[in-house]
Amino acid sequence: MFLVTGGAGYIGSHTVLALQASGHAVVVLDNLSTGHRDLVPEGALFYQGDIADADLVGAIFRRHPVEGVLHFAARSLVGESMGDPGAYFLANTAGTASLLQTMARHGVKRFVLSSTAAVYGEPETVPIDEGHRQQSTNPYGLSKWMIEQMLPWFERVHGLRWAALRYFNAAGADPAGRSGERHDPETHLIPNVLKVALGERSAVTVFGDDYPTPDGTCLRDYVHVADLADAHVLAMQHLDRGGPSGVFNLGNGRGFSVLEVIAAARKVTGQPIPVMMEGRRAGDPAVLVASNERARHVLGWQPRYGDLETIVATAWSFAAAKAGR
Ligand SMILES: NC(=O)c1ccc[n+]([C@@H]2O[C@H](COP(=O)([O-])OP(=O)(O)OC[C@H]3O[C@@H](n4cnc5c(N)ncnc54)[C@H](O)[C@@H]3O)[C@@H](O)[C@H]2O)c1
Ligand SMILES: O=c1ccn([C@@H]2O[C@H](COP(=O)(O)OP(=O)(O)O[C@H]3O[C@H](CO)[C@H](O)[C@H](O)[C@H]3O)[C@@H](O)[C@H]2O)c(=O)[nH]1
């Protein structure tokens, strides 16, 4: 059995589905600060509470035979972190230190962390490999980088084995329609583009068209949430086999511009999707594209839904169903 923190959230709920599909029992811990109780897949046990509540986490470890923890629970709004860094260091870094300490007390020795491409900051070379310098430009990325740096100490002292998965841009929805992205407020590009297609917003705001890229808008590496979920199952299997702890980028290795994403959404939805150009959003690097060689070779990860139109189409099916279309 695995403990999934943040299993009522976007990527966590998809990973619960993938763990269940590979035969694992799951217990979810989530404080529902940004998640939804109804996104927790059927069959998973659910505890509402905080990762830093050592009594509650300890009780879960006493009651259930937890072999490992997949840790998604976090605050993850870059803009918010710029205005309230302390909230991010407390919730993410200190909260995870508490979780790791409780794991150590209860002898739980496997850990998969949701990390982020935001640990790299402005890239010096593209594609970005795991050896790239870490110089996050925001407190959110730094809060995750500090967690990554704690992990080798828990390994050395307590025998923890861990994988830190640095996601690029998570996107799409469960191809079977069981889960999808439901953030409020929604800051991510694809769901916001689809809100325009649904008529919930009048136009997509494009943050900057003067970047040094072919069409002037930012390039990002969009990776399907079901492919991310698969990588978590593979990372746990890798640790099970006695594979070494480590850091892995998760992206498709291809960059798409904001305007290319909007064009794909026009094609998928058949809607015109008007655009409104605005200035740059603070802290956005021009290009973020992953080298995913390590995840492919070491974990045997093979993304199944790398095609941009497929990513957008699965997100569209979920968003349209939610809106009653
Ligand atoms: N969405 C992305 O593109 C992206 C990219 C890189 C990294 N990440 C990371 O992936 C993880 C999941 O992201 P998401 O997009 O699914 O976010 P999400 O907000 O949908 O999910 C996070 C879940 O954690 C829960 N939670 C938050 N703080 C908690 C706490 N202290 N105790 C218990 N539960 C708590 C929330 O209620 C929510 O259900 C996060 O750690 C995020 O930093 C996301
Ligand atoms: O309404 C919008 C929303 C976004 N964008 C642009 O679209 C691109 C993608 O933006 P997202 O907000 O969807 O994603 P980010 O690249 O900002 O952020 C993601 O990648 C980060 C890594 O830098 C973190 O991991 C973060 O958690 C994760 O959401 C950016 O160029 C952004 O400026 C728009 O033009 N309009």
Q: From the CA of 284, how far away is ligand 2's center (Å)?
A: 7
Q: Whose CA is nearest to atom 12 of ligand 1?
A: 72
Q: Whose CA is nearest to atom 17 of ligand 2?
A: 284
What's the rounded Cα separation, in Å, for the pair 29 and 8? 8
pLDDT at 208: 97
Ligand 2 in reach of 196 Cβ (< 6 A): no
Q: From the CA of 11, how far away is ligand 1's center (Å)?
A: 7
What lies within 8 Å, CB to CB, of 246 at 6+ separation is 130, 163, 164, 294, 298
Assign 3-state DSSP to the chain and report helix, strand, coil percentages, each to 5: 40, 20, 40
> Could you identify the atom of ligand 2 that is nearest to the CA of residue 116?
25
Distances (CA, A) of 259 to 134, 208, 266, 305: 28, 11, 10, 20
Ligand 2 in reach of 220 Cβ (< 6 A): yes
- Is 140 a residue of the active site? yes
Average pLDDT of the residues in 199-225? 97
What lies within 8 Å, CB to CB, of 160 at 6+ separation is 100, 103, 104, 109, 110, 111, 151, 154, 245
pLDDT at 119: 96
Q: Is the pLDDT of residue 283 over 90?
A: no
- Phi and psi (nearest 5°) for 166? -95, 100
pLDDT at 282: 86
Ligand 2 in reach of 284 Cβ (< 6 A): yes
Q: From the CA of 189, how far away is ligand 2's center (Å)?
A: 6
Ligand 2 in reach of 186 Cβ (< 6 A): no
- Closest ligand to the CA of 74: 1
Q: Which domains, and CATH codes, for the chain?
A: 2-171+222-250 (3.40.50.720), 189-220+253-322 (3.90.25.10)
pLDDT tens sequence across 55-84: 999 999 999 999 999 999 999 999 899 999
Q: Is the pLDDT of residue 97 over 90?
A: yes
Q: From the CA of 271, how far away is ligand 1's center (Å)?
A: 30
> Could you identify the atom of ligand 1 that is nearest to the CA of residue 30?
34
**Residues flanking ligand 1, CB < 6 Å:** 5-6, 8-12, 29-35, 50-51, 72-74, 76, 91, 95, 114, 116, 167, 169-170, 183
pLDDT at 325: 81
Place of tokens 């329609």: 177
> Could you identify the atom of ligand 2 that is nearest to the CA of residue 288?
23
- Closest ligand to the CA of 186: 2
> Could you identify the atom of ligand 2 that is nearest to the CA of residue 204?
1
Question: What is the model's pTM?
Answer: 0.98
| Burial per residue of 265-303, b for 16 or more beta-carbon CB atoms within 10 angstroms, e otherwise | bbebbebebebeeeeeeebbbbbbbbbbebbeebbebeb
DSSP state of 128: B
In a 3-state reduction of DSSP, which class is residue 4? Answer: strand
pLDDT tens sequence across 29-44: 999 999 999 999 999 9
pLDDT tens sequence across 218-270: 999 999 999 999 999 999 999 999 999 999 999 999 999 999 999 999 999 99
In a 3-state reduction of DSSP, which class is residue 158? Answer: helix
Q: Which of the following is catalytic: 47, 88, 120, 140?
A: 140
Q: Whose CA is nearest to atom 35 of ligand 2?
A: 206
% of the chain at pLDDT higher than 90: 97
> Which residue type sits at 200?
E
pLDDT at 11: 98
In a 3-state reduction of DSSP, which class is residue 27? Answer: strand
DSSP state of 176: T
pLDDT at 3: 99
Where is average pLDDT lowest: 11-15, 61-65, 118-122? Answer: 118-122
Q: Is the pLDDT of residue 278 over 90?
A: yes
pLDDT at 225: 98
Q: From the CA of 27, how far away is ligand 2's center (Å)?
A: 30
**Among the listed residues 100, 89, 99, 101, the one whose alpha carbon sits nearest the alpha carbon of residue 144:** 89
Q: From the CA of 33, how far away is ligand 1's center (Å)?
A: 9
Q: From the CA of 179, how far away is ligand 1's center (Å)?
A: 15
- Closest ligand to the CA of 51: 1
